[in-house]
Structure formats: C-alpha cells, structure tokens
Amino acid sequence: MHTLKLRSFLILSACSLVLFAAVTLLSARLPVPISQQAAAGKRVWQKHNCVSCHTLFGNGGYVGEDLTNIVAKVNPPQLVQYLIQPPVMRPNRYRHHPALKRTEAENVVSYLEYVHTIPTLGWPPQPQKAGDEP
C-alpha cells in the first residue's frame, strides 16, 4: 500500500512540476524582445544590487520608489543625469545615492524603458483623484 502511495505521489509531483515549468516558460514570453543596451542595463542593475532599495514589478526593497514606470514620470536624460551626479538621499544629510558611470547610467535607463513596456495587468494602481467617479 505504501509503495502504491509513494508511486502515485512521485508521478503526481513529476507531472505537476513539468506542467508548471512549461506553463511558466510560455507565460514569460514578452511581446517585445529586449535590446542589447537594455540587457546590458539589466546587468548593471544587478551588479549594483539596485533591488535592495527599489522595486521592479513591486518586488524588491522599499527604501526608494518603485521604478517599473519611472520613465513615465521622469524623462530618460534626467534619469541619466541623476545617476551620474546623484543627490543626497533624504532623510540623510550626507549620504548620496550610489553614482554610476555615464555608459552604465544610459544602459540602466534603457533597461527601465524596456521594463515600462511590459504589460503588468494594471499594476501599479492609479491613485484616486478628488472628484473621480466611485
């Protein structure tokens, strides 16, 4: 009886895993392929551990703002400038945002532009404005 139960458990586990992996791979295909510059930007993002302070798709740290749609709020040249000559991070008085080289900054911003094109099913939600229909 135990052997039968064990076999059933193993078959169920193996089938579930294979199906799950296949559905995940199919689901993760994106409408627009990533450019070389954006891919290089992703490596810069990872190298500097940006995810410790910022979120992408809401995943990451909460010290800084979510950057999934940052390019819709701040234009890319301004972002590049921010990263090359970073300001002091509030509420600190001396500590600056980590600085990047120009190429690195341009690549990261290209990556953030790419992330902005990924459809996220309506996340993040748009805040309510006074006078909006309920």
Partner 1 sequence: MKLFRAFSSQASGRHRVLARPPQRVFLVQMISRRYCLAAVTLFAVQSMVALAGALDLVIPDLPSPIPFEFGRAIHLGFAVLWPLIGTMGMVYYFTAAELNREVFSPRLARWQFGIVLTFALSVYLSLSLRIGNGREYLEGMPLLYLGIGLALLLAAYNLVRTLWADKHHITPAAAIMTVGVLFLLILLLPNALHYNNPTLDEAAKFWVVHLWEEMAFELTTAGFIATFFIVSGLAVREQVEKWLYLEAGLAVSGGLYSTGHHYFWIGVPSLWLLLGTLISLLEVVPVAMLVQMTYVGFKSSKLSSKTGIKSKREKLTLWLILSSLIYHVLGASVLGLMITIPWVNLYVHGTYTTSAHAHLALFGSMGFLVLAACYYILSWGSEPTAKGYKAGVLAVLLLNIGLIGMGTALLVAGFVQTYLWRILGQDFMQVRFHLTPYLLARVLAGGVFALGDFLLIWQIYTAWWRTRKQNSPSSGH
Binding site for partner 1 (CB under 8 A): 2-3, 5-6, 8-10, 12-13, 16-17, 20, 24-25, 27-28, 30, 34, 39, 42-43, 45-53, 55-66, 90-95, 98, 114-115, 118-129
Closest approach of Cβ 134 to partner 1, in Å? 13
CB of 26 to partner 1, least distance (A): 9
- 94/81 Cα distance (integer angstroms): 19
How far, CA to CA in Å, does 103 sit from each of 23, 55, 69, 78, 86? 37, 22, 21, 14, 15
User: Which alpha helices (H) appear in 1-134, and where do they start and end?
Assistant: 2-27, 36-47, 70-73, 76-84, 102-116
Question: Considering the complex, what minimum distance in angstroms separates the CB of residue 55 from partner 1?
Answer: 5
Q: CB neighbours of 86 closer than 8 A, spacing ≥ 6?
A: 96, 97, 98, 99
Smallest distance from the beta carbon of 85 to partner 1, in angstroms?
19
